[in-house]
């Protein structure tokens, strides 16, 4: 294992100045693979949040007045600078978040791709000339940036979830205040340093790190200058934000929890489906909102599937993400480990069979870290916790099914509606099932569905709004209608 990185002590970014919190407070950032402190960040105060909103509001008129082409150029340059720093940012991410270095590098690339994608969308924020109802009038629509935006971002993808919000905000001519998760402030700061070094003007993006998320939210939701808030995180917190948004009728985009079904029909290529489930389930140690969380395997291939999946999962190398060859890093903290273990123990108690894993990993190579063995459970039923709740850990629970109709009903039986996956070689079935699944994102014959050009988002209690794709910028634009009377015919 090698780490050339020394400890990083980051700062807030307010109006182009990197500075300490107003009261000098800081908090430590720890490595979930070792428990060691790898750096620290300012514990921003209410005064700091207000200063960041002031800075974003002050920068807005000039930023809004830039042309789409100027903003697009800066976004492309920012993507380039992020890519040039892939090693540095990837290393920071592995150290504070835990994901294997290869995955971290991949996320840096994914983060850059959002800026590049929205550079293109900036250039296409067209309005319309609408045929009038009154012949003497002329009717136009304009699409204009909403104003100051706040981005509240999660720890599981500390770079990409931030640029997925900042890319469209900047493209639309909005200025922003970012509040990253307190577990991963160092990656957020490193990405913002790259954006700043690309030449983005002072105050266009501002960073507030703080342990007091409730206070930061209250300040953001209580300030009329903040016109839109985009949040990625749990459904529970998302519901609080919906309530908070009512007071000033603030626009919200919410990418919340998921509980993805993963269906394998018996006409599938079993090896492909096993690899696809592993890719979906075990990416980032199972800590993604779009992770498969309920796997339904058709009876004809069930036993063969369980055996192949069990042996491949048992071979996944677990350890510190800086070590070459590691496939699964630590979980973000011990609470994550406890939840995964609770789901496994509950399932076993209620009759599921442990195919592989099922334990916290301790001892040599794991000391001080939050590791859970990649796990496969066979015979999961609907009375088990893992069947009903998002596990957010490296645990795959398998359930047998008989018919297409039955599995579509089971797959849709959830309060969540973010991502769903299925495998089949029957293309009529592929279209039928994709249409019937009540989810915002469908992976058909693939376990990896994330990309900057795709409209990412959920239905039901998985939230609303879309990030990425051609519609991602709409979340940051208001449509204005202009009616010009008395023009004549």
Interaction site with ligand SIN (CB under 6 A): 156-157, 232, 255, 288-290, 450
As given in the structure block, the two tokens for residue 161 are: 């979830």
Q: Tell me the closest approach of the beta carbon of residue 317 to ligand SIN, in angstroms.
A: 22
Smallest separation, CB 419 to ligand SIN (Å): 9
Instruction: Give min distance, CB of 257 to ligand SIN, in A.
Output: 9
Please state whether beta strands 12-14 and 17-19 pair in parallel, antiparallel, or not at all (unpaired): antiparallel
Q: How far is the CB of 418 from ligand SIN (least distance, A)?
A: 8
Cβ atoms of 193 and 144 within 8 Å: the answer is no
Q: Residue 147 or residue 180: which is nearer to ligand SIN going by CB?
A: 180
Q: Which residues are tagged catalytic?
A: 255, 289
In the bound state with ligand SIN, the residue whose beta carbon lies nearer, of 45 and 232, is: 232
Cβ nearer to ligand SIN, comparing 103 with 474: 103
Rounded CA-CA distance 31/39 in Å is 9
Contact predicate 242/235, CB 8 Å: no
Q: How far is CA 255 from the centre of its chain?
A: 7
User: CB 124 → ligand SIN: shortest distance, Å?
Assistant: 23
Strand partners, 398: 295, 378
As a whole number of angstroms, the distance between CA 391 and CA 288 comes to 10
Q: How far is the CB of 354 from ligand SIN (least distance, A)?
A: 26
Output the smallest distance, CB 341 to ligand SIN, in A: 21
- Alpha-carbon torsion 105, 106, 107, 109, what sign? positive
- Encoded tokens for 418: 């973010």
Q: How many CA atoms lie within 13 A of 411 on its CB side?
A: 30
Q: What are the residues whose beta carbons fall under 8 Å from the beta carbon of 428, sequence distance 6 or more?
A: none
Sheet holding 138-145, edge to edge: 128-130, 138-145, 477-484
End-to-end CA, the chain: 76
Write the CB contacts of 67 (distance below 8 Å, at least 6 apart in sequence): none
Nearest distance, CB of residue 62 and ligand SIN, angstroms: 32
Q: Least separation, in Å, of the C-beta of 258 and ligand SIN? A: 8
Beta bridge partners of 145: 477
Q: Which C-beta is closer to ligand SIN: that of 451 or that of 482?
A: 451
Closer residue to ligand SIN (CB): 145 or 463: 463
- Beta carbon nearer to ligand SIN, 193 or 283: 283
Here the tokens at position 333 are 């903290």
Cα–Cα distance measured from residue 76 to residue 113, given in angstroms and rounded to the nearest whole number: 9
Q: In the complex with ligand SIN, which residue's Cβ is closer, 56 or 452?
A: 452
Q: Which residue's beta carbon is nearest to the bound ligand SIN?
A: 450
Of 49 and 441, which has the nearer Cβ to ligand SIN? 441
Pick the closer one to ligand SIN by CB: 288 or 356: 288
């Amino acid at each position: 294992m090698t780490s050339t990185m020394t400890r990083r002590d980051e700062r807030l970014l307010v109006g182009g100045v990197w500075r300490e919190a107003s009261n000098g407070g800081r908090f430590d950032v720890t490595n979930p693979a070792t428990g060691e402190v790898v750096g620290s960040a300012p514990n921003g105060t209410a005064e700091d949040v207000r200063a960041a909103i002031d800075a974003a509001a002050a920068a807005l008129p000039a930023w809004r007045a830039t042309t789409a082409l100027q903003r697009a150029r800066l976004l492309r340059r920012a993507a380039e600078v992020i890519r040039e720093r892939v090693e540095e940012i990837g290393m920071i991410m592995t150290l504070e978040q835990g994901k294997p270095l290869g995955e971290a590098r991949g996320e840096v690339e994914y983060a850059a791709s959002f800026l590049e994608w929205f550079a293109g969308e900036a250039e296409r924020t067209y309005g319309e000339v609408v045929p009038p109802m009154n012949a003497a009038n002329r009717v136009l629509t304009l699409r204009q940036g909403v104003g100051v935006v706040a981005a509240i971002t999660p720890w599981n993808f500390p770079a990409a979830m931030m640029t997925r919000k900042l890319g469209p905000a900047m493209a639309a001519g909005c200025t922003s205040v970012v509040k990253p998760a307190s577990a991963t402030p160092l990656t957020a700061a490193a990405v913002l340093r790259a954006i700043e070094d690309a030449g983005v003007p002072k105050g266009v993006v501002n960073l507030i790190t703080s342990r007091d998320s409730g206070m930061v939210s209250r300040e953001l939701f209580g300030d009329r200058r903040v016109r839109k808030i985009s949040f990625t995180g749990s459904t529970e917190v998302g519901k609080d934000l919906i309530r908070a948004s009512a007071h000033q009728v603030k626009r919200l985009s919410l990418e919340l929890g998921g509980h993805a079904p993963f269906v394998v029909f018996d006409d599938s290529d079993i090896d492909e489906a096993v690899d696809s489930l592993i890719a979906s389930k075990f990416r980032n140690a199972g800590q993604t909102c779009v992770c498969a969380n309920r796997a339904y395997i058709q009876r004809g291939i069930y036993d063969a599937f369980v055996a192949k999946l069990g042996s491949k999962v048992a071979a996944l190398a677990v350890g510190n993400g800086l070590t070459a060859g590691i496939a699964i890093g630590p979980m973000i903290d011990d609470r994550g480990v406890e939840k995964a273990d609770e789901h496994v123990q509950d399932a076993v108690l209620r009759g599921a069979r442990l195919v592989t894993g099922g334990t916290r990993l301790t001892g040599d190579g794991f000391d001080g870290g939050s590791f859970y063995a990649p796990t496969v459970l066979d015979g999961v039923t609907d009375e088990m916790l893992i069947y009903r709740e998002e596990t957010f850990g490296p645990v795959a629970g398998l359930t047998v099914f008989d018919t297409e109709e039955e599995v579509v009903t089971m797959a849709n039986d959830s309060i969540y509606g973010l991502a769903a996956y299925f495998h089949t070689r029957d293309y009529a079935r592929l279209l039928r099932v994709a249409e019937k699944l009540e989810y915002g994102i469908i992976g058909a014959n693939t376990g990896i569905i994330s990309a900057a050009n795709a409209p990412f988002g959920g239905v039901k209690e998985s939230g609303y709004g879309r990030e990425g794709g051609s519609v991602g910028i709409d979340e940051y634009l208001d449509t204005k209608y202009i009616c010009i009377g008395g023009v004549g015919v």
